[in-house]
Structure 1
Amino acid sequence: MDPIYVTKPYLPPFEEVSPLLRQIWDRKILTNSGPNHQLLEADLIRYLGIKNISLFSNGTLALLVALKSLRLVGEVITTPFTFIATANSICWNNLIPVFADIDPITFNLDPVDVEKRINSNTCAILPVHCYGNPCDVKAFEALGENYNLPVVYDASHAFGVEIDNESILNFGEFSTLSFHATKVFNTFEGGAVVSPNLSVKKRLDRLKNFGFVSESVVASNGINAKMSEFSAALGLCQLNYVDKCIKMRRNIAKVYCELLAGVNWLSLPCYPENIFHNTAYFPVRVGLDAFGMRDSLVEHMKEVFEVYPRKYFYPLVYDFPYFSGYHDKERYPLPNATKAAAEVICLPIYPDLSESDISRVVESITSFRC
């Protein structure tokens, strides 16, 4: 039997992409905000219901440049339950990551715990919409206003997500997106920063292009982070299918919830009615009272059924050697994040997952004996 991995990138029909590739060959414009780049920005603004967007070569550079544009100095409060790129972007800006605990239900940064860590050195708050679950944006907006701190959202998982019929990307100083191959919407590699006004977008666009204001004037310490015309061309085609892909993901999540509802040692995700979820991931908690049970289940799924879930996110960011010096676990224990890292796995979910594949994933779990 073929292995079932946690995700598989969706690609549009090649015959729809090839005319755009022919245009690139004919125009000989490969980068530097070419026609495809400009079209994709315009289409994403319409699709996502946002004001401005700047395309980047990947999501990590999008976040790095967004932080750079704010000219911050000091500490940035963020979550340890995230992909390593979130913290990397902080450190690459010579800023200090400060880790706060998460909410045990949404897995998002807890605004109450964040407020406990705000001090005179705090310069920003960086929440993550973990698994596409919206953060408590009202609470974070209030914290930002009360303490005069910018709030930058890592929305890598949250393409197309809405709360109360509004794009989750419209909150905060910035929201950053990833268009990596594993994401709901991919451009092979890519990313973006959603910004509130045109002047901020122009600054971001300068920073991603070496800091150039004109051909002979460099106004800031920029970097090369531009999206290529190839990636933009794929994105233009992908937008025609993203609604279909999200619908298929939501259907798979519904089937998982129905078939796994009777597994009493498994805690399933919940989807509030006021949130339009993209089901970018399907996280479950394993054995709420049995330490180490998660790892045994994962090995069973792999060895017996060739099903490959992922332990997102394990280890916690501050357990990686480079970041270990940034957090005193004994003085500031983060129990919710620690427990989630020991218990959560993400099950395979992607549009091409067949009914037989879903059945195999479910059987790999239900056949496990605690």
Structure 2
Amino acid sequence: MIVPHDPLYVTRPTLPPRDDIEDLLKKIWDSRFLTNRGPLLQRFETELERYLDVPHVSIVANATLGCMVALRSLGIDQGEVITPAFSFVATAHAARWVGFDLVFADIDPVTLNLDPKDVERRITPRTRAIFPVHCYANPCDVEALAEIGARHNIPVIYDGAHCFGAVDEGGSLLRHGDLSVVSFHATKVFSTFEGGAIISHDAKTKQLIDRLCNYGIVDETQIEALGLNAKMSELHAALGLAQLPYVASDIEKRAGVSQRYWDQMSGIPGVTCVCPPNRAGLNYYSFPILVGQQYPMSRDILYQKLQDVGVHARKYFYPLLADLPMYSDVSPGGLDNARRASEQVLCLPLYPDLASTDQDRIIACICDPCG
């Protein structure tokens, strides 16, 4: 008999105290400045540059638009973009929406990030950009990808949607690449409900990106580029300003949840924990596991077993992007690691206030799958 429980979802958004946003809302109501790079958004950009220790931040309405604008800023209309076959669909969709042909590449079997050697094999005279993903905020092999990009004179633009607060020995993961895009979606470590940002390295590039986010407008009479509307509202900026003081504490709490998973599950035959919590610089965005052949049931059966007790884990990322109908014209082959990961991956619930009793329920299902 299945005992009913309150549902546990793969993530649960963190919200700032309501009192913290009241003063900011008053500023919006008093000024009637609702959008179009208002004072709160400009303040938010400045505070993010300081918090992330990156040179230039351009805030956008969401990270998908951010990826589109970042790719569009290359000034290229046609050609190929190399991107991992194992990612959330927004990565591929963004490249296709701005007119690029997709080339899916394989991933490293340990980090689940884009494999630089496979990238090298897939470069052609039509390659216009390399579009890696720091999957689950695990850092890509940034040095190898930068070397490939420089040698072939191909820009590297990172989909760093998962990466807020993630660092390596040199600082924020978002500083890598010609451009980098981060998400502030409600499912992420840091949230403005919907939102994101593009990180660039010089003022000229930031100016171009900001204009592309506002239809390409220069001033009241000049429009210099084919832009779109990717602006964030003052309300969302206010949420970001209110949330920012709490994100470091949230990451610390996420670390505790991740450690508890690791301590209980790292020795289970057939279960691989993708993001060991002792790896420096993680932001503990998610806790993905790979369910391999040594485990007594398949990933899909375990997924259903968890569903039956109200645990809504997610198959991030399944299906493989190369298997989606809108990409049936992309036939790369040689995606063995990506396909294996897609068929084995399961992301477990992880958020700062996940109760230990609820986490015990999840762990018990995995440690004793036949119980």
Q: Normalising by structure 1, report the TM-score.
A: 0.96
Deviation at residue 352 of structure 1 after TM alignment: 1.5
CA distance in structure 2 between the aligned counterparts of 1:165 and 1:91, rounded to whole angstroms: 32
Deviation at residue 271 of structure 1 after TM alignment: 3.8
Segments of 4+ moved more than 6 angstroms: none
Q: Secondary structure at the match of 1:140?
A: helix
**Residue 8 in structure 1 maps to residue 12 in structure 2:** yes
- Once the two structures are superposed, the pairs formed by residues 173-184 of structure 1 within 5 Å of their partners are 173-184=178-189
Please point out which of 240, 245, 262 is paired with 1:240: 245
CA distance in structure 2 between the aligned counterparts of 1:269 and 1:338, rounded to whole angstroms: 16
CA distance in structure 2 between the aligned counterparts of 1:281 and 1:9, rounded to whole angstroms: 13
Describe the shift of the 1:216–1:167 C-alpha distance in structure 2 as closer, same or farther (beyond 3 A): same
Aligned residue for 2:311? 307
Asked whether the 8 Å contact 2:85–2:106 carries over to 1, the reply is: yes
Deviation at residue 263 of structure 1 after TM alignment: 1.6
Tell me which amino acid in the other structure corresponds to 2:80. E
**Residue 41 in structure 1 maps to residue 41 in structure 2:** no
Deviation track 1:326-362 (CA, whole Å, cap 9, x = no partner) reads 124xxx2210000000001000000110111111111
Aligned residue for 1:368? 369
Deviation at residue 22 of structure 1 after TM alignment: 1.5
Q: Normalising by structure 2, report the TM-score.
A: 0.96
Deviation track 1:110-129 (CA, whole Å, cap 9, x = no partner) reads 00010000011111100000
CA distance in structure 2 between the aligned counterparts of 1:367 and 1:111, rounded to whole angstroms: 38
Deviation at residue 272 of structure 1 after TM alignment: 8.1
Tell me which amino acid in the other structure corresponds to 2:73. S
Tell me which amino acid in the other structure corresponds to 1:20. L
Aligned residue for 1:218? 223
Deviation at residue 19 of structure 1 after TM alignment: 1.6
Flag structure 1 segments of 5+ consecutive residues without an equivalent.
none
Tell me which amino acid in the other structure corresponds to 2:42. Q
Deviation track 1:146-185 (CA, whole Å, cap 9, x = no partner) reads 1000000000001111111411111111000111000000
Tell me which amino acid in the other structure corresponds to 2:353. D
- Computed over aligned residues only, the root mean square deviation of the Cα atoms, in angstroms, reads 1.5
Describe the shift of the 1:148–1:165 C-alpha distance in structure 2 as closer, same or farther (beyond 3 A): closer
Asked whether the 8 Å contact 1:288–1:343 carries over to 2, the reply is: no
Aligned residue for 1:31? 35
Please point out which of 57, 62, 66 is paired with 1:62: 66
Deviation at residue 216 of structure 1 after TM alignment: 1.1
Deviation at residue 275 of structure 1 after TM alignment: 3.3
Aligned residue for 2:285? 280
CA distance in structure 2 between the aligned counterparts of 1:41 and 1:224, rounded to whole angstroms: 18
CA distance in structure 1 between the aligned counterparts of 2:277 and 2:23, rounded to whole angstroms: 41
CA distance in structure 2 between the aligned counterparts of 1:99 and 1:291, rounded to whole angstroms: 32
Aligned residue for 1:17? 21
After superposing the two structures, state which structure 1 stretch, 357-366 or 44-53, moved more: 357-366
Deviation at residue 137 of structure 1 after TM alignment: 0.2
Deviation track 1:68-117 (CA, whole Å, cap 9, x = no partner) reads 01012300000011111101111111100100100011100000010000
Say how many residue pairs are matched: 366
Q: Secondary structure at the match of 2:239?
A: helix
Flag structure 2 segments of 5+ consecutive residues without an equivalent.
none
Q: Secondary structure at the match of 1:157?
A: coil
**Residue 52 in structure 1 maps to residue 56 in structure 2:** yes
Q: Secondary structure at the match of 2:186?
A: coil
